[in-house]
């Protein structure tokens, strides 16, 4: 899974390890988890060449090392930035956001589909956002990237019933909205000057009104879904939905 150095990613990784999973975590920062069943891959996901190379050299051998009965991918890592009106967005910075939020997750989905053991229960979670399905002023870059990942999951779900994926008899994809979570991204957004991001007060109010949830709560829902059976090819869920 990606983004395991903090927030939801670290919480999910911790719960998976408690449940006996073997976890490979990807993050640009050093590992914060120490566990015999945890492998940390320090990668800057905005660097596509580096990412694809390390995935090929490390992740693929892990997936094919044995006939795993259950395999999970959690595309959690994301970057914000470029907050503010659309006309101020820098194209080069936008490309970096799309590399982390869209290109790498799509690449990883493809790797897991190609390398999962025949008959394995394959579970893919794409951590999404309300900004993927609803328009929020000032979030053009982040919202559009999450919308793209959401659609990529839907497309893959539609492909899984084709003959070329006949070996994946139990594969499911979840687009998961964790709600307003108390993460570093929330902190960075709240600290953005109003001159740059005129809608910053919305995010300050989330904190002031105690609307933020701790990362362990959505993490618990993600881990529970990864262990479930009888799931549709593609589904969507928001935090707190039954």
CATH number of 68-238: 3.40.50.720
Say yes or no to pLDDT of 208 above 90. yes
The CA distance from 8 to 32, in Å, is 13
Mean pLDDT score, 30-53 = 95
Average pLDDT over residues 161-180: 94
DSSP characters over 198-221: TTHHHHHHHHHTT--B-THHHHHH
What is the per-residue pLDDT for 81? 85
Distance CA 130, CA 51 (A): 27
Nearest partner of 132 among 185, 179, 188, judged by Cα: 179
Three-class secondary structure of residue 242 per DSSP:
coil
Residue count (the chain): 242
Predicted pLDDT at 200? 94
241: pLDDT strictly greater than 90: no
CA atoms within 13 A on the CB side of 91: 0
The answer, yes or no, to whether residue 193 has pLDDT greater than 90, is yes
**Alpha carbon of residue 75 to chain centroid:** 3
The residues that bridge with 122 in the sheet, in sequence order, are 71, 171
Residue 170 has φ and ψ, to the nearest 5°, of -140, 70
Q: What percent of the chain has pLDDT over 70?
A: 100
pLDDT at 242 over 70: no
Quick one: pLDDT at residue 233?
97
What's the confidence (pLDDT) of residue 174? Answer: 98
> Is there a contact between 34 and 52 (Cβ–Cβ < 8 Å)?
no
Dihedrals phi, psi of 74, to nearest 5 degrees: -120, 105
The sign one gets for the Cα dihedral 42, 37, 235, 83 is: negative
- The dihedral built from the CA positions of residue 27, 48, 175 and 160, taken in this order, carries a sign that is negative
132 has a pLDDT exceeding 90: yes
Arithmetic mean of pLDDT over the chain: 95
Q: Per residue in 20-33, pLDDT tens?
A: 999 999 999 998 89
- How far apart (Å, rounded) are the C-alpha atoms in residues 168 and 162? 10
Residue 223 has pLDDT above 70, yes or no: yes
Q: In the chain, what are the domain boundaries?
A: 68-238
Task: Give the long-range contacts of residues 41-50, CB within 8 A, separation 24 or more.
Answer: 45/2, 45/77, 45/99, 45/100, 45/104, 46/79, 46/96, 46/99, 46/100, 47/99, 48/99, 48/103, 48/104
Q: What's the whole-number mean pLDDT along residues 201-220?
A: 95
On the question of pLDDT at 234 being above 90, the answer is yes
**pLDDT over 80 at 100, yes or no:** yes
Segment 214-232 shows an average pLDDT of 97
Nearest to 54 by CA among 37, 40, 66: 40
Distances (CA, A) of 96 to 47, 49, 81, 186: 8, 13, 10, 19
State the pTM of this model: 0.94
């Amino acid at each position: 899974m990606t983004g395991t150095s903090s927030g939801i990613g670290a919480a999910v990784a911790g719960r998976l390890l408690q449940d006996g999973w073997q976890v490979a975590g990807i993050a640009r920062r050093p590992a914060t988890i120490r566990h015999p069943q945890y492998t940390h891959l320090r990668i800057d996901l905005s660097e596509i060449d580096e990412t694809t190379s390390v995935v090929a050299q490390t992740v693929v051998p892990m997936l094919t090392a044995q006939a795993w009965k259950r395999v999970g991918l959690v595309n959690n890592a994301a970057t914000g930035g470029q907050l503010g009106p659309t006309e101020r967005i820098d194209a080069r910075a936008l490309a970096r956001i799309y590399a982390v939020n869209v290109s790498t997750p799509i690449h990883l989905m493809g790797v897991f589909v190609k390398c999962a053991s025949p008959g394995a229960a394959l579970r893919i979670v794409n951590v999404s956002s309300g900004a993927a399905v609803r328009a929020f002023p000032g979030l053009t870059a982040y919202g559009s990237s999450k919308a793209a990942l959401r659609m990529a999951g839907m497309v893959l779900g539609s492909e899984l019933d084709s003959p070329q994926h006949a070996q994946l008899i139990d594969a499911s994809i979840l687009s998961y909205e964790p709600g307003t979570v108390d993460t570093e991204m929330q902190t960075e957004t709240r600290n953005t000057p109003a001159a740059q991001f005129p809608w910053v007060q919305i995010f300050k109010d989330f904190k002031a009104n105690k609307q933020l949830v701790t990362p362990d709560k959505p993490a618990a829902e993600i881990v529970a879904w990864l262990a479930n059976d009888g799931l549709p090819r593609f589904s969507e869920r928001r935090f707190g939905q039954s």
